[in-house]
Structure 1
Amino acid sequence: MSADGQNPRTPNLRTLAQEQADRPLTAYARDYTDGEATGWHHHGRAQLLYATRGVMRVATREYNFTVPPGRALWVPAAMPHAVAVEGPLAMRALFFREDAAVLGEGRALVLAVSPLLRELILAACAEPLEWDVQGRGGHLAALIAEEVARAPQLPFGLPAPRDARLRRLADALAADPGRDWTLEEWAQRCGGSARTLARLFQAETGMGFARWRQALRLTEAAALLAGGATPARAAAAVGYASAPAFGAAFRAAFGLTPGEARLIRPGSSP
């Protein structure tokens, strides 16, 4: 994912008012327009990023995430990341103080958002910054922590290559996942030999090129389905000529059929 030329190794530290409030959990709401990008940055508190509308594309040093509606991304404190926006995006974020961070794995995670958790996130956004610890705000925060801790984790992360040639290839495939070029053809476009690119893919992502491309295609298809595309349209858009093959690969990756994934809307159960 492009990060506007910034180096993810030297991200900006951003501190919002929500992170300075003396509360275990605070909420932040912002709407983005098509084409906006945050650049590489990090926060002092852990975040839960959720979009009520639109698809979030979030890069970390190790993974790229495509997060459709009905899903959320847990970003640990101090983790460098960059958000790119495609189409209108309504983001609702929660900040967790260190003593209230309910997911301590130290890695970014995509979570399924239950109808209850969605409504809790929206309710938290309507609370004042210094909400009443003994009142409604305190009850919301306690219930949010419970719901986030028990939310199912989903395999939506794609290992991010670091080599400049692989990044060019990855960006081009993300823009057109249905393009069926061989690795030799990609090598001519991106530089290096096919053998070199194959070796780098394995070393940097732990996957061969074919497996990595399939994972990218399925992740992009999941985003299309979340946006209302039919399984047939999503399959064709990411390069699958066979609907049964697409269905089998999608189910193996995500544990549900493309039809089931399409029925998931913001606030519906996975």
Structure 2
Amino acid sequence: MTNSARSSDHCDYQRVPRVVTAMARDEVHGVSVEPHSHERAQLLYATEGLMRVRTDSGVWILPPRRALWIPPGVVHHWTSLSKVTMRTIYVEAATARAFGDSCRVIEVTPLLRELILALLDEPIEYPIPGRGEHVAMLILSELAAAETVPIAIPWPRDRRLVAVCSAIMADPGSSRNIEQWADDVGASARTLIRLFPKETGLHYRQWVQQVHLAEAFSRLAQGQSVGEMATALGYASPSAFSAMFRRILGKTPQHYMTEWRTPLPQSQPTRRPA
């Protein structure tokens, strides 16, 4: 199979006799992929566009320069929130154990991005030894050194809490308090306050802040200002929103705005002998 005919079906990459494989797939806005899992671990990544990924245990919003590590066997489904150019990799299960058994968001460095693109320029079954093998090993090295971004929206199982969390996800800037949410689902506020840490590991306000952070990354990727985000998410001022953002992530929204507005170097096609 030539690179021009490279499959965009994830099933075709699960038993390739290589430690690391790479798949390219482009989607239009609004595509939703049904729940599925892989024999291999997946680094779900798009060089352009926004994706929302959901598992039984959490929800993640992935803008460019962020990727989700999904261990083998984890059922997940994703939705494109814009046009998406997915450039994802799969890592054989035995090797993947070194990178953890839970989903996590990682920073995609310019080097990791270029390595993923370089592997896509190689045959699916790249020669061993050879360039493709070296690129694959460098990808594993970059994954081992990648910074984890503490953005995750843990998902509950209790039906009352699911109803509340779904409503907050649908309207992250809602000004409703926990007493009002409790009335909606036929529970007491005390019950919901107790259920949040039991079901999600986070207190109510912490959980809402994770939703706000995820929404903020989505809005940052769309070019919104800090003021626009603060207003949309119900904060009294841009400084109050920035303070929350920095307290959790250690960086301001302005830091990410500057980073994302700095264009990444464009990959040049690899020239091969005729």
* Per-residue CA distance 1:247-268 (angstroms, 9 max, x = gap): 1110111111110011233976
Aligned to 1:5: none
RMSD: 2.0
Deviation at 1:138, TM superposition (A): 1.1
Equivalent-residue separation in structure 1 for 2:22 and 2:238 (angstroms): 41
Whether 2:52 is the aligned partner of 1:60: answer: no
Aligned to 1:239: 234
Equivalent-residue separation in structure 1 for 2:30 and 2:165 (angstroms): 18
Q: Are the equivalent residues in 2 in contact too, given 1:15–1:44 (CA < 8 A)?
A: no
Aligned to 2:139: 144
Q: Are the equivalent residues in 1 in contact too, given 2:10–2:23 (CA < 8 A)?
A: no
Equivalent-residue separation in structure 1 for 2:263 and 2:104 (angstroms): 19
Equivalent-residue separation in structure 1 for 2:255 and 2:98 (angstroms): 27
Equivalent-residue separation in structure 1 for 2:232 and 2:214 (angstroms): 12
Q: Are the equivalent residues in 1 in contact too, given 2:151–2:213 (CA < 8 A)?
A: no
Aligned to 2:76: 81
* Per-residue CA distance 1:33-67 (angstroms, 9 max, x = gap): 22222222111001111111122211222222112
Deviation at 1:149, TM superposition (A): 0.9
Q: Are the equivalent residues in 2 in contact too, given 1:48–1:93 (CA < 8 A)?
A: yes
| Percent identity between the two aligned chains | 42
Gaps of 5+ in 2: 1-8, 265-274
Gaps of 5+ in 1: 1-13
Aligned to 1:8: none
Give matches, 1:87-236, under 5 Å: 87-101=82-96, 103-236=98-231
Aligned to 2:16: 21
Q: TM-score, length-normalised on structure 2?
A: 0.86
Aligned to 1:9: none
Greater relative CO, 1 or 2 (CA 8 Å, sep 6+): 1
Q: Are the equivalent residues in 1 in contact too, given 2:26–2:84 (CA < 8 A)?
A: yes
Give the letter aligned to residue 223 of structure 1.
S
Q: 1:32–1:191: structure 2 CA closer, same or farther, 3 Å change rule? A: farther
Q: TM-score, length-normalised on structure 1?
A: 0.88
Q: Are the equivalent residues in 2 in contact too, given 1:115–1:267 (CA < 8 A)?
A: no
Equivalent-residue separation in structure 2 for 1:47 and 1:245 (angstroms): 36
Deviation at 1:136, TM superposition (A): 1.8
Equivalent-residue separation in structure 2 for 1:63 and 1:150 (angstroms): 24
Pairs aligned (count):
256
Equivalent-residue separation in structure 2 for 1:166 and 1:84 (angstroms): 23
